[in-house]
Amino acid sequence: TGVAMMKFKSPPVNSLSLEFLTEFSISLEKLENNRACRGVIITSAVPKIFSSGLDITEMCGKSMEHYTEFWRAVQEMWLRLYGSSMVTVAAVNGSSPAGGCLVALSCDYRIMAENPKFSIGLNEAQLGIVAPFWFKDTFVNVVGHRTAERSLQLGSLHPAPEAHKLGLVDELVPEEKLMEKAAAVMAQWLALPDHARQLTKTMMRKALLDRLLAHREEDIKNFISFVSKESIQKSLRMYMEMLKKRKS
């Protein structure tokens, strides 16, 4: 059918580790180069979670080299996904904070399970950190400036119904209908001639992609300088402690 399915399967919470991101980018590149593949549906094989976002352990107590490699992998993933010439549909079948939300925001269409226990948002501020400018730009392009400003400052995680109301996701469906709906949406988008659709997508997204490409090394330096601060390391360690306690 020309449609690939990518199921995130990195328990317990599909953290975007260096390894995960590298594999994700390679998979996207392979599909991109496979002319038979015209669309990809992204979902999770882990119950209740789409992706928990960037793996905080990659940002704690590591070397400059590691931070550089990690951040380049985050950039690479976004450049490939946001700039994909394929139709990309996120079937958000669980919670999706921070980097997980970015993955969904970078797709062409977002369908979410209508479970109010699942939430989605760029909640970086809650962790004492700041989303980089291209997370913000991607968010603004989906929900507009005002909603983005408020949501980013509050680090909001929006329950599915609220996310839908804000336009953060396009559609809610009962969880058991999620894949069926994703396939139907994909078929609708694939009914268009690829060439015209791809040029249109590029026209809409090129300015953002170019902005990161133009500032990629600067963005890496910013990340390293930020994450190297003792105060930020402390915030991240506290957050990891909290996560551990919550689990046990």
201 binds its own copies (CB under 8 A): yes
Restricted to residues 64-103, the positions that interact with its own copies (CB under 8 A) are none
Interface map 102-141 toward its own copies (x if CB under 8 A) = ------xx--------------xxxxxxxx-x--x---xx
For position 163 contacting its own copies by CB under 8 A, the verdict is no
Contact criterion met (CB below 8 Å) for 106 and 138:
yes
DSSP 52-115: -EE-GGGGSS--HHHHHHHHHHHHHHHHHHHT-SSEEEEEE-EEEEHHHHHHHHTSSEEEEE--
Unique residue bearing structure tokens 């994703």: 182
E strand or H helix at 181: helix 178-190
50 contributes a contact to its own copies by CB under 8 A:
no
200 binding its own copies? (CB under 8 A): yes
Is residue 3 within 8 A of residue 186, CB to CB? The reply is yes
Of the listed 99, 100, 121, 155, which one is catalytic?
99
User: How far from chain centre, in Å, is Cα 153?
Assistant: 18
Crossing angle of helices 64-82 and 194-214, rounded to 10°: 150
Under rule CB under 8 A, residue 243 binds its own copies: no
**Residue number, 46 or 159, with CB nearest to its own copies:** 159
- Per CB under 8 A, the list member of 41, 81, 89, 148 interacting with its own copies is 148
Q: Which one among 26, 64, 187, 199 touches its own copies, defined by CB under 8 A?
A: 199
Active-site positions?
Answer: 54, 99, 123-124
| Residues forming the site for its own copies (CB under 8 A) | 108-109, 124-131, 133, 136, 140-146, 148-150, 152-155, 167, 170, 188-189, 192-193, 195-197, 199-201, 203-205, 231, 235
